């Protein structure tokens, strides 16, 4: 599991994000996205959720609601490499499931999970504008399209080589 430590340096960074966002409840989503970006593991631990809620006087339940509603936010640490599988209408018509299964097999995880070595996280995504090369996936903001079962292994291995 995560060895997250809420130290003073991080607290100061979060305070400055809160200040930039006027400690405003209306900017809660923006605050959470910015805070998540500066936390190793790209997630929002419980202690941080409580800290933010208290600082901007928002009920803890509301902060959790926002975190759980938005795909981009997470309460669990994520891998260095985020693989997003589009399941919006065009990719659904083009049968994204045919690439999802080999992806899950190659990684040994299901959607929503992170590999034990902390390298890959697999998630669903809404359309990211690659409908013309559907079925498509996005890996750390890099889009791969016209995918077939055979291409999956090569793509994953190329990221393994890059990040390991
Ligand atoms: S519907 Fe999948 S990328 Fe647009």
What is the 8-class DSSP label of residue 124? Answer: E
List the domain boundaries for the chain: 8-69, 81-163
147 lines ligand 1 (CB under 6 A): no
pLDDT over threshold 80, residue 144 = yes
Q: Are 119 and 81 in contact (CB under 8 A)?
A: yes
Angle at 164 between CA 40 and CA 156, to 5 degrees: 100
Alpha carbon distance 124, 71 (integer Å): 8
For ligand 1, what atom is nearest to the CA of residue 127? Answer: 4
Any atom of ligand 1 within 6 Å of the Cβ of 90: yes
CA of 96, closest atom in ligand 1:
2
Residue 39 Cβ < 6 Å to ligand 1? no
Q: What is the pLDDT of residues 64-117, one digit of tens each?
A: 999 999 878 999 889 989 999 999 999 999 999 999 999 999 999 999 899 999
Per-residue pLDDT reduced to its tens digit, 26-68: 999 999 999 998 998 889 999 999 999 999 999 999 999 999 9
* Contact call for residues 122 and 78 (beta carbons, < 8 A): no
Task: Please confirm whether the linkage preceding 53 is cis (ω < 30° from 0).
Answer: no
Q: Which two tokens stand for residue 141?
A: 């903001």
Cα–Cα nearest to 138, from 71, 80, 79, 84 = 84
Query: 138 phi and psi, to 5 degrees?
Result: -125, 130
Assess contact for 96 and 86: CB atoms under 8 A. Answer: yes
pLDDT of residue 141: 83
Model confidence at 2: pLDDT above 70 = no
Q: Residue 14's pLDDT band (boundaries 50, 70, 90)?
A: very high
Tell how far the Cα of 89 is from the centroid of ligand 1, in angstroms.
Answer: 7
Per-residue pLDDT band for 122 (boundaries 50, 70, 90) equals very high
| Distance in Å, CA 70 to ligand 1 centroid | 18
Q: Is the CB of 130 under 6 A from ligand 1?
A: yes
pLDDT, residue 13, reads 97
SS3 assignment, position 13: helix
Taking the model in full, what pTM does it have?
0.72
Ligand 1 touching residue 111 (CB < 6 A): no
* CATH T-level topology, domain 81-163: Glutaredoxin (3.40.30)
- Over 50: is that where the pLDDT of 1 sits? no
């Amino acid at each position: 599991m995560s060895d997250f430590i809420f130290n003073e340096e991080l607290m100061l960074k979060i305070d400055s994000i809160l200040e930039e966002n006027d400690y405003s409840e209306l900017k809660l989503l923006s605050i959470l996205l910015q805070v998540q970006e500066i936390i190793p593991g790209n997630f929002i631990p419980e202690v941080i959720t409580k800290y933010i809620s208290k600082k901007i006087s928002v009920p803890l339940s509301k902060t959790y609601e926002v975190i759980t509603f938005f795909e981009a936010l997470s309460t669990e640490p994520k891998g260095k490499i985020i693989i997003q599988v589009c399941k919006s209408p065009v990719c659904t018509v083009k049968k994204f499931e045919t690439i999802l299964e080999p992806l899950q097999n190659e990684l040994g995880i299901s959607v929503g999970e992170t590999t034990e070595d902390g390298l890959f996280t697999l998630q669903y995504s809404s359309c990211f504008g690659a409908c013309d090369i559907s079925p498509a996936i996005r890996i750390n903001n890099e889009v791969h399209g016209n995918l077939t079962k055979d291409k999956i292994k090569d793509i994953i291995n190329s990221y393994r080589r890059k990040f390991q």
